[in-house]
Amino acid sequence: MSQRLRKFLDRQERHFQPGGRYERFGALFELVDTFLYTPSTVTARAPHVRDGIDLKRVMIFVWIAVIPAALFGMINVGYQANQAMAGMGLEQVPGWRGAVLWLLGAGGYDPASVWDNFWHGAVYFLPIYAVTMAAGGFWEVIFASVRNHEVNEGFLVTSILFALTLPPDIPLWQVALGMSFGVVIGKEVFGGTGKNFLNPALTGRAFLFFAYPAEISGDGVWTAVDGFSGATPLMLAAAGGVEAIQAAGVTWWSAFFGTIQGSIGATSTLFIIAGAVFMLYTGVASWRIMAGVLLGVVATALMFNAIGSDTNPAFGLPWHWHIVLGGVAFGLVFMATDPVSASMTETGKWLYGFLIGFMTVLIRVLNPAYPEGVMLAILFGNLFAPLIDWFVVQANVRRRRRRDMA
């Protein structure tokens, strides 16, 4: 079957080549062909000019690495929702999602059942992911057709990372709008994959955060139950420090494992670490950037701990709590290491990562109205990455000149 399909695609390819009958749909044909089979050529331009690996393999590796966090994210979304429903005396999910669960025969809404939690979370996450894929794929094909070049697989990673940073009950039209903004404004207007200086997934999320703050931030949006209200752990930390978090029943281990409120895929540090190990093993992510972010978070948190404050409890939040709350782990592993928007030089990767870690804790501690700082910190780091690399290169040039003159 596979060989027959391969031969069929090879016979049809000439119709989609320049001068062929369906030339205008060449980008769409290439998208289907490279999705089904590994391309015969490797990337010959940015962002992987230093390597013979093809872009498709890099994107697939990143996509595989994020799957554990995505699967656990669905379970946790369902768990949080089922737990809230039990507390509110609700027995079924209202609206079309409840109808889908009934048609699937997915079971009940028992928070102690992994199966119930998974299906309940799936009816929130899968539509969001489908919308991001459709919106991202649409714009990728449009721009590839206009520019007459192949479709890059970057949107596969952008779509799942973007989806996992969202709250589970965000309106789907906002998902499509945010993904469109991230792909078009964050990437395509600069020339496409390899030429953008901002992370597209975070660009889309930042747009939603500032355009529709009620749906992307707040107390109730992190749990997919209408009428539910409760502060997230980071909001508790800004209001009362570690004591307020623990008083709400959140332990460090529950935060590390991920059974807390938060965006769909960013709560479980444990499963994010599993993805990080895979990315480091396959060589598609920089350990220097990860270590730099971690070092920046630890150093800055220790600095604020030493300074202390009688009016701001966030000064006393230890570094090991910063790591497991919010999106620090997710941003450290999957966002900051984006090979296009991050620093390229070896020394620059350390500085770039440290800057992100420093800015994350700085925003969290000094801006109580915005307790999560990872998104803005990474976008800030993206802006400074080219400048960091420039200074590193110039420092290397000066050092070599002094060595040659000695």
pLDDT tens by residue, 308-319: 988 899 899 999
pLDDT tens by residue, 11-37: 777 776 776 776 666 666 666 666 565
Domain boundaries, the chain: 1-37, 38-216, 234-397
pLDDT at res. 349:
96
High-pLDDT (> 70) share of the chain, %:
86
Inform me whether the pLDDT recorded for 49 exceeds 50: no
pLDDT tens by residue, 178-226: 999 999 998 888 877 777 888 999 999 999 999 988 778 766 677 877 6
Inform me whether the pLDDT recorded for 48 exceeds 60: no
**Which of 40-54, 273-287, 366-380, 387-401 has the lowest average pLDDT?**
40-54
Residue 396 or 108, more confident: 396
pLDDT at res. 30:
67
- Three-state secondary structure of the chain: CHHHHHHHHHHHHHHHCCCCCCHHHHHHHHHHHHHHCCCCCCCCCCCCCCCCCCHHHHHHHHHHHHHHHHHHHHHHHHHHHHHHHHHHCCCCCCHHHHHHHHHHCCCCCCCCCHHHHHHHHHHHHHHHHHHHHHHHHHHHHHHHHHHCCCCCCHHHHHHHHHHHCCCCCCCHHHHHHHHHHHHHCCCHHHCCCCCCCCCHHHHHHHHHHHHCHHHHCCCHHHCCCCCCCCCCHHHHHHHHHHHHHHHCCCCHHHHHHCCCCCCCCCCCHHHHHHHHHHHHHHCCCCHHHHHHHHHHHHHHHHHHHHHCCCCCHHHHCCHHHHHHCCCHHHHHHHHCCCCCCCCCCHHHHHHHHHHHHHHHHHHHHHCCCCCCCHHHHHHHHHHHHHHHHHHHHHHHHHHHHHHHHC
Question: Residue 50: which pLDDT band, with cuts at 50, 70 and 90?
Answer: very low
pLDDT at res. 213:
85
